[in-house]
A and B are shown apart, each in its own frame.
Chain A
Amino acid sequence: MCGNEALAEAAILAGCDAYFGYPITPQNEIPAYMSRRMPEEGRVFVQSESELAAINMVFGASATGKRAMTSSSSPGISLMQEGISYLAGAELPAVVVNITRGGPGLGNISPAQSDYFQATRGGGHGDYRTIVLAPSSVQEMVDCMLLAFDLADQYRMTVLVLADGILGQMMEPIVLEKKPSRELPPKDWALTGAKGREQNIIRSLWLGEGVLEKHNNKLKAKYEQVQENEVLCEQYEVDDAEIVVVAYGVTARIVRGAAAKAREEGIKVGWIRPITLWPFPTEQISKVANEFRIFLTVEMSAGQMVEDVKLAVAGKAPVVFYGRPGGSVPTVDELLDKIRQLTLRHEIKI
């Protein structure tokens, strides 16, 4: 079972009622798996005619109170942004998986982290947020899917799971187990027939003076709650670290290897791995930012998350960036070299 298939099985375990998707590499194992398993479970699988259709099928299914998801890769996710904006406006839950590739445009099908802005800033229009989960192992792909459906229902938001082709193809042992789910609010907003109650209306149109402002402020309050309660990140050997490396997803695995080697050489390196990219672990980073350390952000991009790291560090320490854009993957030795250079440049005592 590869990462993409594990993720798909986890969605089934999470109670996903309907999957909609359009073919695109490198995530085709997800629809292929779902096409077989969903009917077995008596659930819905549809190969749509385009990504626009897929996200709007999610929109429709979600409106009925059912758990719905789609998956695609970068260019396909670009097409879905319009739908995601409307889902946010209508406050409907949805799970969207992006197994990223290199861009802009058609780019290539290699792993890349160049959709960070798209994921965390929202490629669609309007004042809205999506929760973004960035797994770095196959087990975490499973865990993120289980969490994603719960978060989506709890906050009535789109939850994006952001992984890449390496994780999608990777094979690792996993435990597929449904953990006790959090208490979720009733879906009293769903279109289930208006018999004996007031009708429910799903919409993102808010005309009338001040009505949209009120709606936006309600969303804002909800997003602040998410920021307060749902940040996930992992830290390792940060306490005595003179260099703190920040990386997510597959890059964090390479960082872990480089940091271990650096420690062997006596360089005090620790790392922070954001699991939620939004909400970003701003506080966690801010807390450990001081003038005695350097922050090194490593990404498979030309520099996107580094902006959030800089905001978190807020000038309290230097923030250095190392990135490989265009679908290139940094090696452990390459990162180790970078870490060594930093010790020279900033005269960190070993």
Chain B
Amino acid sequence: MDTQIFDMHNIDIAWCPGCGNFPILKTLKQALAELEIEPANLVLVSGIGQAAKIPHYFKTNVFNGLHGRALPAATAIKAANPALTVISESGDGDMYGEGGNHFLHTIRRNPDITNIVHNNMVYGLTKGQASPTSQIGFKTPVQVGGVFLEPFNPLAVAIALDASFVARCFAGDAEQTKEIIKKAIKHKGYALVDIFQPCASFNKLNTYEWFKKHTYYLEDSHDHSNKNEAFKKATEEEKFPLGIFYIKPDKKTFEENIGIYQENQQPLYERKPNTGKLHSLIETFKFAD
């Protein structure tokens, strides 16, 4: 499939020149095209932020909701129509800060969705405050003395919660990022793809060069079924590993667990209310004459 099928024409893109969101946009389109996922069968669900604008630049079904709340909406969309490919995508502030609670509980719930996080270690849209993943010492107009909070480690948290797929990429490496995103989308169950994304305007510390210098790919020998090994890799700080850290195959998804699909595969959105059942229920409340 040609990636052009996802292209929007005559639109203004709000991102700055040199923004790491551009390669992510391109890579995601390529990944989807290679997987032959039709725009009609795809929903991009996002919160609020620069990263969360990505659905606006995509010709497909778009749900742009509240700051921090993309994951609950994505879970519901997938449950209503499990045939859809659902991608929930936002920045690190959105997913790990404002939406941190939803991040934890969506992993526990395990809907069959892909959660892509553009991790630029800063609040981009609001012009440069520290985000939950900002590095210690990072100076901003608000964190004037530098960040002193321990950065949030999304991968370690996801692995600790036994997330079904946990990966990290770097926007500067389109080829590998594309392959990882493809695997994440194909994976059955919740898949986290945290993408290191340079912010050209508000993060002068974590630049393309910095990420190149401070990352490496997990060796082929990395056993992504080994939780302890994955956790160890996720907590490395000297250099940040990239690649697929952890896969927990055959984990039951939320859609499989909820009662509605156990006997009847018809998607929820197509079902008509069972008025017969409702009437007989109402009858039971009536007093006998």
Binding site for B on A (CB under 8 A): 22-25, 28, 31-32, 35-36, 39, 47, 49-50, 75, 105-106
Contacts and interface: CB of A to CB of B under 8 A. Distances in A.
Interface string B45-81: 0001000000000000000001110000000000000
A75 B126 CA distance: 14
Nearest to B132: A49
A35 B126 contact: no
Given A75-B67, A106-B48, A35 B142 contact: yes
Interface string B133-154: 0000000011111000000000
22 contacts: A23-B123, A23-B126, A23-B129, A23-B142, A25-B125, A28-B126, A28-B129, A31-B129, A32-B141, A32-B142, A35-B144, A39-B145, A47-B129, A47-B142, A47-B143, A49-B97, A49-B98, A49-B100, A75-B66, A106-B48, A106-B66, A106-B67
Contacts of A23: 93, 123, 126, 129, 142
Contacts of B100: 49-50
Contacts of B67: 75, 106
B98 A50 contact: yes
B239 interface: no
Contacts, number: 42
Given A23-B93, A25-B126, A50-B100, 20 more contacts: A23-B123, A23-B126, A23-B129, A23-B142, A25-B125, A25-B127, A28-B126, A28-B129, A28-B142, A31-B129, A31-B142, A32-B141, A32-B142, A35-B141, A47-B130, A47-B143, A50-B68, A75-B66, A75-B67, A105-B66
A23 B50 CA distance: 14
Q: Which of B93, B123, B142 has the most CB of A within 10 A?
A: B142
A73 to B, nearest CB: 10
A39 B146 CA distance: 13
A31 B129 CA distance: 10
Interface residues of B, number: 20
Contacts of A75: 66-67
Interface in B204-252: none
Contacts of B127: 25, 28
B97 A50 contact: yes
Contacts of B143: 35, 47
Q: Which of A24, A39, A47, A106 has the most CB of B within 10 A?
A: A47
A36 B126 contact: no
Nearest to A21: B142
Nearest to B142: A35
B98 A22 contact: yes
Contacts of B132: 49
Contacts of B126: 23-25, 28
A108 to B, nearest CB: 12
Given A23-B126, A50-B68, A36 B97 contact: no
A77 to B, nearest CB: 13
A50 B68 CA distance: 9
